[in-house]
Amino acid sequence: AQTVTQSQPEMSVQEAETVTLSCTYDTSESNYYLFWYKQPPSRQMILVIRQEAYKQQNATENRFSVNFQKAAKSFSLKISDSQLGDTAMYFCAFMIQGAQKLVFGQGTRLTINP
Partner 1 sequence: DGGITQSPKYLFRKEGQNVTLSCEQNLNHDAMYWYRQDPGQGLRLIYYSQIVNDFQKGDIAEGYSVSREKKESFPLTVTSAQKNPTAFYLCASMQRGATNEKLFFGSGTQLSVL
Under the rule (CB under 8 A), what is the footprint of partner 1?
A: 4, 9, 33, 35, 37, 42-45, 47, 50, 91, 93, 95, 100-107, 109
Instruction: Say if CB 5 and CB 69 are below 8 A apart.
Output: no
Nearest to partner 1 of 72, 101 (CB atom): 101
Nearer to partner 1, 28 or 42 (CB): 42
Task: Give the nearer residue to partner 1 in terms of CB position, either 15 or 74.
Answer: 74
Cross-strand bridge partners of residue 78: 20, 65
Give me the least distance between CB of 16 and partner 1, in Å please: 28
Nearest to 14 by CA among 90, 88, 111: 111
88, 21 contact by CB (below 8 A):
no
Q: Minimum distance from CB of 102 to partner 1 (Å)?
A: 6
Question: What whole-number distance in Å separates Cα of residue 41 and Cα of residue 61?
Answer: 22
CB of 35 to partner 1, least distance (A): 7
